[in-house]
Structures are given as C-alpha cells and as structure tokens.
Amino acid sequence: MSKRVVLNDDDISRALTRIAHQILEQQRGTEELVLLGIPTRGVPLAQRLGEQLAKIESLEGRSIDLPEVVGSLDITMYRDDLRRGKVKMTSPTRIPSRGIDGRTVVLVDDVISSGRTIRAALDAISAIGRPDAVQLAVLVDRGHRKLPIRPDYVGKNLPSARSEHIQVELSEIDGIDRVVISSGEDASGAAAGQTEA
C-alpha cells in the first residue's frame, strides 16, 4: 500500500492559471464562452477557472459576469454504466441564462481516463442546445483512453498504471487541495475523489 502527493495546492493553482490563459488565448475573449463543470469536482474547478479568467480580464479593463460564464452539467442519466446498477445521485445542471447556442462550451472535469464521462457530457449538451464548439479542460490526464477523446487544456499529464488510483481533492469538497496517486490496497476501492472515466 502506497500513496504519494503528485500535485499540491500551489501546483493546482498554477495549472488552473495556465489553463485560463490558454483558454483566453484560444477564444480571444470571454463574450461567447461558457464553462460547464462536471460534478462533482469539475464544478469547483470551473468556478476557479472562471475567477481566474475574471482576474486576467480585469487587468485589461474588462469584466466578466461569472453567472453568465460558469455553470454545471449533470451527466448521470447519460452514463453508459447505468444498466450495470452504478447509479449515482444526480446533481443540478445550471446553464447560464443566455444558454449555450452558438457559444463555445468548455467542459471542465478533474480527471480524464477512458473518455466515457466526456462522451456522456457530449450527449447531455446535445440535449440542451447547439453550441458553436465544445472543448475540454481537465486538471489531470492519466491516459488509458478507450474513446477517441482528447482534452484541449490539461493541467498535468500523469501517466499511471491501471492498478493505480488518481484522487483529486479540492478544498470546497475535501478541505484540502491536492492530487494523490495510490497503489496497492489504497487503490482497490473507489475513493471519493476519483472520476477517471
């Protein structure tokens, strides 16, 4: 049994700042941008990204109405493992009042692995509206993709063995900011911070 911290609070903050700069550079502004966090930990990450974008834009004399940029997207009913009995509690979906039609939606999640969570998110988005483009920002990419999905913005690539467990902990939910890799007995159960789908 072993556990090691691979990202601490400063590392996470730097990664989110870098992603925010990359999003602004790619989008050339935030007028038509929507950040949708995927519950659970994608939601606070999207909020933090929105706050970083607001900070950067304020340096240029521009302001951001965060409720019109940041929202959340529950994907529970679109998951392909529902028939296996792996039902999670649904979370609220909150879409900015201007909607997503014709806008660039950036999905925000904590960990990407197989890509199945993001496939479900794409299905959920198509049921809500028709964005101009959909992009993906993740804090951690651990590899092991099973679907042809690749993030546009990555905080940290963490190649890992399938037997290892990546756990993202965020202060809003867990009281601490860190990313931990566990192996052995620690990795056998599904801990609260593991998305990896």
Q: What is the full DSSP assignment across 26-72?
A: HHTSSTTEEEEEPTTTHHHHHHHHHHHHHHHHHHTT----HHHHEEE
Structural domain span for residue 137: 8-161
Q: Phi then psi for 111, rounded to 5 degrees?
A: -135, 135
- Name which of 37, 191, 9, 24 is nearest 110 in CA terms: 37
Residue 18 resides in a domain? yes
For residue 191, what pLDDT is reported?
41
Residue 34 lies in a domain: yes
Residue 2 lies in a domain: no
Q: What is the pLDDT of residue 86?
A: 62
Output the average pLDDT for the chain: 91
Domain count, the chain: 1
Whether 181 is covered by a domain: the verdict is no
User: HEC profile for 168-188?
Assistant: EECHHHHCCCEEEEEEHHHHC
pLDDT at 12: 98
- The CATH number linked to 122 is 3.40.50.2020
CA-wise closest residue to 182 among 195, 166, 161, 158: 166
Do 156 and 6 contact (CB within 8 A), yes or no? yes
In a domain, 187, yes or no: no
pLDDT at 192 over 70: no
pLDDT band with cut points at 50, 70 and 90 for residue 87: low
Q: What is the pLDDT of residue 193?
A: 45
Of 84, 85, 93, 81, residue with least CA distance to 39: 93
> Which range is least confidently modeled, 78-87, 142-151, 155-164, 184-193?
184-193
Q: Are 149 and 166 in contact (CB under 8 A)?
A: no
Give pLDDT tens digits for 44-71: 999 999 999 999 999 999 999 999 999 9
pLDDT score of 187 more than 70: no
Please report which confidence band the pLDDT of residue 188 belongs to, taking 50, 70 and 90 as the band edges: very low
Residue 194 lies in a domain: no
Nearest to 123 by CA among 152, 98, 147, 140: 147
Stretch 99-126: mean pLDDT? 97
Higher pLDDT, 123 or 79: 123
Beta-carbon contacts of residue 153 (< 8 Å; ≥ 6 apart):
19, 22, 23, 106, 135, 136, 137, 138
Q: In which band, very low, low, confident or very high, does the pLDDT at 189 lie, cut at 50, 70 and 90?
A: very low
Residue 58 lies in a domain: yes
Residue 184 lies in a domain: no
